[in-house]
């Protein structure tokens, strides 16, 4: 019976810093999120073109251009116009596309770093602050 009471009175373990395994896992997760966000922003982006000449090389990816498409086979009736990234030829109109993978990787790493900082630095700090405040407000 004394052992049960002793086990209940043990204080919780002190918080510890994350080990290398969790840091690596969180970095891989953040890089994955960075790739998804980069892809989503690029496919959702609309690029404004001012003339038929601009259609021959439409850049996608902000702030780093990593996809360029030729939309000159599908001119608009009026300008300026917004052009969307076309990934398939469902319309039967070809859109020659070039990919630059180095800017894509850089862009994904930028977004991954943002999400890593949010998840590994900001979120734990917010949780600690909320726990500290709730601990002071509780009646004893």
What does the domain layout of the chain look like in residue ranges? 20-137
- Contact assessment for residue 33 and residue 112, using Cβ atoms and an 8 Å cutoff: yes
DSSP 115: H
Is 5 strand, coil or helix? helix
Q: How far apart are CA 85 and CA 47, in angstroms?
A: 9
Q: What is the pLDDT along the chain (140 residues), one digit of tens a residue?
A: 555 555 555 555 555 666 788 888 888 999 999 999 999 999 999 999 999 999 999 999 988 899 999 999 888 889 999 999 988 766 778 889 999 999 999 999 999 999 999 988 899 999 999 988 887 766 65
Report pLDDT for 39.
93
Instruction: Please state the pTM of the whole predicted model.
Output: 0.70
Q: How far apart are CA 135 and CA 74, in angstroms?
A: 64
Partner residues linked to 83 by β-bridges: 47
Report pLDDT for 65.
92
CA geometry: angle 38, 40, 42, nearest 5 deg? 70
Report pLDDT for 11.
54
Q: Which two tokens stand for residue 77?
A: 């009736």
Report pLDDT for 117.
93
Q: In angstroms, how far is CA 121 from the centroid of its own chain?
A: 16
Nearest Cα neighbor of 85 from 62, 101, 112 is 62
């Amino acid at each position: 019976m004394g052992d049960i009471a002793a086990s209940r009175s043990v204080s919780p373990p002190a918080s510890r810093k994350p080990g290398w395994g969790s840091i690596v896992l969180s970095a891989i997760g953040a890089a994955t999120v960075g790739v998804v966000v980069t892809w989503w922003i690029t496919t959702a982006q609309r690029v404004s073109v001012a003339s038929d000449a601009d259609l021959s090389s439409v850049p996608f990816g902000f702030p780093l251009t990593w996809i360029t498409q030729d939309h000159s086979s599908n001119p608009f009736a009026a300008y300026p116009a917004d052009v969307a990234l076309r990934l398939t030829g469902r319309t039967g109109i070809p859109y020659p596309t070039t990919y630059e993978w180095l800017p894509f990787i850089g862009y994904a790493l930028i977004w991954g770093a943002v999400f890593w900082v949010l998840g590994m630095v900001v979120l734990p700090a917010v949780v600690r602050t909320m726990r500290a405040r709730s601990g002071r407000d509780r009646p004893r």
